[in-house]
Structure 1
Amino acid sequence: MASDGWYLTDDVDRHLARAGEFLRSRPAQHTVHLTVTETLRSRGGRVYGDGAPEFGVLEGEGGGRAAFFRTPPHPLVVTSLSGEEADVLAGRLAGAGRSLSGVNSDRDTAAAFAAAWQRHTGADAVPGKRLRLYRLGELTVPRPVPPGRPRVAGEGDRKLLAQWHGEFSAATGETAVRDADDWADERVERGDLILWEAPDGTPVAMAGAAPKVAGQVRVVAVYTPAPLRGRGYAGAVTAEVSRVALAAGADEVLLFTDLANATSNGLYQRIGYRPVSDFAVYHFG
């Protein structure tokens, strides 16, 4: 362990051996860290992107008290830090010559780390998305339910899923670092993506679920093609994914929304999702 308390590694198993108990102590707030590291562990550390992953845990007498991971080119994802801890971490990474595209964390930590990164590197820090984490309370299926029915995406849907993956990435401003066909293959193999199909069998919306870790499941990839929006499909398919997660034994069902999208924030609250905390992304020049 370094004198600043941060233990860094590129081995996900070593990281989880040190940080796992801390991450599982607050599964909702640490949902991204838990699901990404579990996915990497299941792939044997293989990632899709520009470089190898890196992990860190801040250790004290009582064990881990903070952690981060980064999978280039994505921003650094870090758990809550004090202003001093954010400054120490920024200095450690800058001093080691790390190049960061940004930071993603709870609102206060993200702001503190962005300011610290500017001090240590001189790089610009541009505010990006503001996100809100929601937890499902009592599930309420939105009414009226649109015509059609839900079904699990299967072999015959791979081409459509790949197409929608690209459209979803573009619509949300996310950097698509993995091949769309690979993404579709993985979803079909895991059986964790649900389509809403019209009465004639045409898929009109999708929503997926991240793997269950520490009792929590996060709803992901909620997408309706632009010409089909406003008809209740997103609400119906999100409610179904949420129902399936609960039926499979999830203790918590979570999702993130972009705070700039008032429509989606209102929709998820009508389904039964309640705010947990706010997060922010900063991009570094």
Structure 2
Amino acid sequence: MRPTAWHATDDLDAFLVRAGDFLRSRPDLHTVPLTVTEVLRTRGPHAYGSGVPVLGLLEEGGSVRATYFRTPPHRLFLTPLTAERADSLAAHLQSLGQPVPGVSADARTAAAFAEAWRLRTGASPVPYRRQRLYRLGTLTAPRPLPEGRARIAGHGDRDLLVRWFGEFGRAVGESGGTPPESWADARLAYGGVTLWESPDGTPLAMAGLTPPVAGQIRVAPVYTPVPLRGRGYAGAVTAEVSRLARERGADEVLLFTDLANPTSNGLYQRLGYRPVADFTVYDFQGQSSS
């Protein structure tokens, strides 16, 4: 067995000095840690909640091979791991007494860590969501486009963005994380939300972009209020933010979908997005506190 050394820290700068090159080596698979650490760097340690973020990395032979992070109250997020490394991470986190309410990672890594955590803590891994990561190839705008136009949201749209992000969070079962007001203010600061509006200026749908980092931008979230769905607004606004991401210099434009939603998966593929990897989110129930 190869020696492994996991290191935990709450020092973001130190983490990025050691793990930055590793994260930038695969901007697609590492899009979430790249984006989260950029937000923490620019907005401070409580950007995702009141808890102190925990970051960690695995060194083998003098090189970083994997990372993890958790921004309480959210789940643990992992870069790809072998089963052996997943078991060593479980031992590491257990030795630190770190709470792990759940895990999100590529499907193989998530399953390996969930099993390792179950064996060590008695936790029952409960699949919460299956996702697919897509990368944009050749952008194909939907035809015909719905009536209306796209525009970048401005500060006059803040109340709308706060309301819609709250509705989005409740719809996907993630309403206990980033405060909608904080999310809206951060996105407005860099033009990170595009609206599709009717000819009379009524907003109909929105799509967001994460900050650019390591040549990648992720489309998130895409939201249409329930009464307005099925009219092509989501496709139109997603195509527009995808074009905007490329215009802003992104080498890779990415997005996640819920695999339980065949409508959205079909839509994004028609727009030119191609699968990269599947991800699984687990919640851990019934684990011991030791």
Cα pair 2:4 2:60 within 8 Å, conserved: no
- The equivalent of 1:9 in structure 2 is 9
Aligned length: 283
- The equivalent of 1:82 in structure 2 is 82
1:100 and 2:106 are equivalent in the alignment: no
Structure 1 distance, partners of 2:229, 2:138, is 25
The residue identity in structure 2 corresponding to 1:178 is: T
Cα pair 1:166 1:176 within 8 Å, conserved: no
1:1-285 superposed matches below 5 A = 4-285=4-285
Structure 1 distance, partners of 2:17, 2:153, is 35
Structure 2 distance, partners of 1:170, 1:142, is 28
The farther-off stretch of 143-152 and 55-64 is: 55-64
- Per-residue CA deviations over 1:86-141 (Å, capped at 9, x if unaligned) read 01101111122111110000000000000111111111111110000000000000
- Per-residue CA deviations over 1:203-247 (Å, capped at 9, x if unaligned) read 000001001111011000100000000000000000000001111
The residue identity in structure 1 corresponding to 2:130 is: R
Seen in structure 2, the aligned counterparts of structure 1 residues 50 and 119 have a Cα distance that, compared at 3 Å, is farther
Q: Report deviation, 1:4.
A: 3.9
Structure 2 distance, partners of 1:275, 1:173, is 24
Structure 2 distance, partners of 1:48, 1:109, is 24
Structure 2 distance, partners of 1:284, 1:256, is 22
The residue identity in structure 1 corresponding to 2:220 is: V
- Per-residue CA deviations over 1:179-221 (Å, capped at 9, x if unaligned) read 2222222222221100000011100000010011110110001
Structure 1: runs of 5+ lacking an equivalent: none
User: TM-score when scaled to structure 2?
Assistant: 0.95
Q: Report deviation, 1:62.
A: 4.6
Cα pair 2:39 2:47 within 8 Å, conserved: no
- Per-residue CA deviations over 1:27-54 (Å, capped at 9, x if unaligned) read 0000001000011011233333241001
The residue identity in structure 1 corresponding to 2:193 is: L
The residue identity in structure 2 corresponding to 1:234 is: A
Structure 1 distance, partners of 2:174, 2:5, is 33
The farther-off stretch of 78-87 and 56-65 is: 56-65
Q: Report deviation, 1:74.
A: 0.8
The residue identity in structure 2 corresponding to 1:98 is: Q
- Per-residue CA deviations over 1:151-190 (Å, capped at 9, x if unaligned) read 0101111111100011000111113323222222222222
The farther-off stretch of 48-57 and 244-253 is: 48-57
The residue identity in structure 2 corresponding to 1:65 is: R
The residue identity in structure 1 corresponding to 2:23 is: L
- Matched residue SS, 1:81: coil
- Per-residue CA deviations over 1:11-69 (Å, capped at 9, x if unaligned) read 11111111110110010000001000011011233333241001111012251010011
Structure 2 distance, partners of 1:225, 1:22, is 39
Structure 2 distance, partners of 1:44, 1:130, is 30
The residue identity in structure 1 corresponding to 2:211 is: P
Identical-pair percentage = 62
